[in-house]
Amino acid sequence: MSSNSLDAAARPRIPAGIAGVADYEPHARERMDPAAWAYLCGGAGDEITLRANREAWDALRLLPRVLRPLADGCAGIELLGRRLASPLLVAPMAFQRLAHADGEAATALAAAAQGAGMVLSAQASQRLEDVAALVRDEAGRGPLWFQLYLQRERAHTLELVQRTEAAGFEALVLTVDAPTSGARDRERRAGFCLPPGISAVNLRPQPSQPQTQDFFAQVVAQAPTWDDVAWLRSATKLPLLLKGVLHPADARQALALGVAGLIVSNHGGRTLDTAVSTARALPRIADALGGALPLLVDGGIRRGTDVLKALALGAHAVLLGRPVLHGLATAGALGVAHVLRLVRDEFEIAMALCGCACVADIGPELIDPPA
């Protein structure tokens, strides 16, 4: 953590009037560099998928049950052999020091304090060993996972995996939906580039590639395939989850390869614009898996009711992305902890109002079918 964060006079405070996580967004935007905001909060193309993620959760209607016993209720879940206080994890997000000087360290501490899971990005702006050391021995913390992209050289991927294992991470999350970056117009208009002192400190610098007119000649050589997934699974002792699955056929192939779980994700709308929203993709993936794998989802989740809807559609847990960054930018670790607490509290309220004493009571019958 930065020395400034320990100074009582400079200690961040939660602004007055914060009632839900959306209230953090204007405060975060005020505090962040406009180009960094465009990078962290923008999407690809016309940002249709970015908007659709949110709109799809809003469009779902709940069909609550009443007069059901709620004594001794609990929002906890089991996930990959770990007990979580609630089905909330922090999604992997790059370069969090763009939002706050304390970066990923603050986010990890806040997640641990709230019993939420933390997925550290391969493009973190702080060393994975340092982040893990802050929280791995904390009692009551959620699971600590590491997200990675396959590197151009398998030896470099293996080196990163071995560091992850040694640092105490408990699972690997392989992002599979980004063989190239999306065409992010907002980011390009803002002229975003990483400022001095912020970089992907856990990755080896990549040599520049000669530019050619053939896009596929540049991308295909490094784009991962199912063979790479099989290799990675054999190269690590950690459970391997795939993040970025939207098509049921890919879910079935992942199941056949023996991965430990799937994350339904469209990269927060940052890669392929007009890709299906995660709320629409989720039930199809759940049907394809038939409960055979842990299933998580991200993209547009802002309310506790969204979490309940996700579980009703077949997810076992959800990942929160941009709201965490908004809390971080506004009030550091305190802001992140508050965001996580707000969503958890709303989720527990939604459970009670839908007649669910425990997560196992949440099922598809709570979603009103479209007319």
Rounded CA-CA distance 367/370 in Å is 9
DSSP state of 59: H
Rounded CA-CA distance 25/326 in Å is 5
The residues with which 173 forms a beta bridge, in sequence order, are 147, 241
The residues with which 263 forms a beta bridge, in sequence order, are 243, 296
User: Which of the following is catalytic: 100, 267, 316, 326?
Assistant: 267
- Cβ partners under 8 Å of residue 144, min gap 6: 108, 117, 118, 120, 132, 135, 136, 168, 169, 170
What is the separation of C-alpha 154 from the centre of its chain, rounded to a whole number of angstroms? 25
Report the alpha-carbon angle 249-253-254, nearest 5.
115
Helix (H, G, I), strand (E, B) or coil at 42: coil
Q: How many CB atoms lie within 10 A of CB 114?
A: 23
What is the separation of C-alpha 211 from the centre of its chain, rounded to a whole number of angstroms? 32
The residues with which 22 forms a beta bridge, in sequence order, are none
DSSP state of 194: P
Q: Which residue type, as a one-letter code, is found at position 76?
A: G
Extended strands (E) in the chain: 77-79, 82-84, 88-90, 117-120, 144-148, 171-175, 240-243, 261-264, 295-297, 317-320
Rounded CA-CA distance 325/102 in Å is 12
Tokens of 319: 């990942």
Active site residue 267: yes
Q: Are the CB atoms for 310 and 301 separated by under 8 Å?
A: yes
DSSP state of 27: H
Rounded CA-CA distance 303/297 in Å is 14
Q: How many CB atoms lie within 10 A of CB 100?
A: 27
What amino acid positions are annotated as catalytic residues? 267
